[in-house]
Structure 1
Amino acid sequence: MAEPGPPPAPNQPDGPTEVARLNKIIQALMDRAERNTSAHVSDFTAFQTTIMLTERVRRRTEQLEAALRDNEKANRILRASEEKFHGLANQSLTGIVIVEDGKFSYSNGKFNEIFGYSAEEVRQLGPLDLTIESDRPLVAERFRKLLGGEMNQLTLTIGGLRKNGTEVDIEVHGSLMASGGTLQTIAVILDISGRRQAEQALAFKNTILATQQEVSQDAILVVDAQGKIISYNRRFINLWALAPDVVAAGVDEPVLQQVVAQVQDPEAFLARVVYLYEHVTEESREELALKDGRILDRYSAPMTGADGTYYGRVWHFRDITERKQAEKQIRDERAFSNKLIASLPDIFCVFDSTGRFIHWNIRLRRLLGRSNAEMSQANIFSIVHEGDRARAKEKIQAVFQQGEAAIEVRVSALRGIRDYAVTATRTETSQGVLVIAIGSDITERKHAELELQRLQEQLRDQSVHDSLTGLYNRRYLEEMFARELILAERQGHPVSVIMGDLDHFKRVNDAHGHLAGDEVLRVFGALMKRHARGSDICCRYGGEEFLLVLPGTSTENAVERAEQLRLALAAAPVTFGAAQIAVTASFGVATFPRNGRTSDDLIAAADAALYSAKSAGRNRVSVSPAPAGGGAGA
């Protein structure tokens, strides 16, 4: 929408209309003159009439020209005034708009910038288009009241709606003006987003400060430069048992009187307060003893601005009665600890980061056979056995970094090597970071642990081995066979099983006795162990049955291994006393995954093959056939 031009100057004739009117008058006068001439009026009369008409036209023309000059001058002034208004409006740091018939008829650059529209786009919009939905009823109502004369000024703080859909906080000030018989609303728009954010940030900061003051462990009192109380927290009221209304009154004197009445030395207290108020730059920290036995820590600091202006003083009070009691208890406990350390049955020492001894007890000194003077020159690492020294240094370095560690080391004592369990703890002192170490003699315990470990290993070995043959037993087989099958499944390689059984073993027992039978079992077990690889599992499955698990072995290779065992056993009679006992065995072979996928399935397949070998005449190797339909792995 084009901007409206300046209205015409008041009481001035319209130029073209006036010229047309004068032309009509001149034409009428000329017609009259012509008629008079036709009526035989004298030449003098005609000349006189012409002169009169000419004079009237000249005068009226001069009037018309003067009127046109005045009109042009008024238009120039109006255009200059309008250009000056637009120039000033566009330079304004606030948005300026004119609203006419519900639409914007004018907007300055700042207004367009605030809302992100061009001037042409703004002309197509109205106030409600640039207002967030929740504020539109309010804006509509205020404009209605302004136009209806119910209010003289328009003042609003609302949410504006930018072209990109984002919101902006704005403040609107407007009023009515009449132009060319039309009512218009001229309004000034302020973008207050920054101010809102600053106000919110300030409110947030004040909330934080107030919260910090309330949750502080200190009782806080803030007094301005004129001695008026401007802030305090509830802890201050409770600490001094003050009436809330007395403090709320803001007068420092009555509060000070009630506080002074509670301290043991009121004169010294009051003198210090007066001194601090007179010396506005000083800070102060003292302990106050109250008449009721409490002890307070009082800290006071001035409040100054960046330019050094003094604004008042802050007072912090904290009840440290329990802390003072605890400090006394610590002193008492330290004295007790020193006596306790001296009587400890364990060795005790404190050393620095270089390992130099700082403190030690008499137990450590006697263990090493050194005097106090020698101990002061000694180093913690020098008393550690050479074989444990590197490990001890690594542990101690970890203590200085992480705070605590436990280590067992051998100590080079006066009467030989002793084992100690040492607990080291990092501590910070006035002498720097130190380590406290306490060591218990565990030499006898270490000996007992070694013996126990040996017995446990023996029991472990017995629990998984057959006591007669020394081969693994069935319990170990069940545990390890399952693991081998899982690995074979994952890697896709075969696992074969050879089950061997001595032929006519009962005859051996009957003919030569059970001791001879045991010897035959031992020889057979030793033979299987000699023919086993490191990865094979060789075990006595039960009675005269033996099992050999062969990871990564095909059926053909397993049959070859079984034949080697059969031939070796048959070729070497078992010697028992004076007897030479000829022994043979039958073997059954099964393979994963062809004959089964579980240990039970494979053992059952090998056992069935073994039974076939027995049925076929013994002293032979039989292979478990693949199941019909492609085998177990199909």
Structure 2
Amino acid sequence: MTGIIADTAAAAWFEGIPCPLLLVALDDGRLVYANRCARERLPGAPALRPDPAALARGLAQLAAQGAAAAVVELPTAAGAPLSAALGAQVVEVDGQRCAVLAVAGTDLPPAADGRHDPLPWRAVFDKAGVGIALLDLDGRFLEVNQRWRELFGLGPKELGALTPAELVADADPSRPDDAPLGALLRGEIDQCRSERCYQRRDGVAFWGDLSLSLLRDAAGAPAAVVGFLLDITPRKQAEQRLNEINARLEAQLLENHKLQAQLSDLALRDPLTGLFNRRYLEETLPRELARSLREGAPLSLVMMDIDHFKRLNDRHGHQAGDQVMKELARVLLKFMRSEDIACRFGGDEFVAILPGAPLRVAVQRAEEWRAAFRSLKVPCHGAELRCALSMGVAEFPRHGTRGDQLLSCADQALYRAKRSGRDRVVVGS
């Protein structure tokens, strides 16, 4: 009977162990495999039905603690049942958690060579594909199997002078202390587990998953510690590669978010002055008006342009005109509150939205901008340019309840400011 492991490397390994081994599914107690020795010495093994209660207790202990022992009734060639001790460990075969039951007992039928197997776990210990070690109560190695020696490239005598913590590589990022092992040896805990970076004799590091379990004597006192060590280097390397890929993806995602924010900002800002553009004004003004209406708060709008700007461009060039507009943007931002919004409306026209500001405050703010801009001396080709602003002010809801109404009212006031001599602030009517 080969069951679920018939076509796997595990089948050959189980078949070669010279003691009866049974593989039982942990979920339902179903016998899924019996090795050759079990089939020879337990002819009824393919149809084995151990005592259900004893097996259930053993499997429950095994699932909880990773090791178990039970006494069950097994069939013999003559059909008369016999009592046999089962020692068990958990393994995973083809994705299914199973118990490996090593059968011991003097009532077992002899092997083909006529000998009894007094220590069935010896073959498992020596041939196991996982490193197994037995530690005394000082934390020193009593015995290690072949796989453990292969993992470290050390012999039994060399390992006998060390503790598990001394095998941890210097490069391990979390160099552990002996606290968990000490608690285990004192009987304060029954199990502990850790993933550590270990180092072979030749200096090569590898990652190991170490599980330590306390063995107690018949009186319940700590007797020894058994350890199982799995080489998990491929998994840790895969995790590291995955973490590096995830880190790069996160960095790229963050960069993409920044780029999207920059592109969005560029779409809403004037590249010359850095102020918001007309598109942003047309999206924002209705929203601010709706909020003012909802909160019963005032809102004022100031429209302005630079006096004689065409003449300035014609005389000094567009570069000088661009510089003057940049200076105006700096003046506006300097005297604005955080909630105020400044936009370049088009050409040399600018608009400021002042949420919560009544007409009186808006006029005062406009006068501050006008005076500050008037006092500027903009350097140009070795000379200094002086410029002025004409400004029109409109208030919600006095001069309109819609954005187009306020813009029209402020534009008309701006036109009157120019007609009446420029360099002044005029309120809409």
- Give the structure-2-normalised TM-score: 0.46
- Give the structure-1-normalised TM-score: 0.31
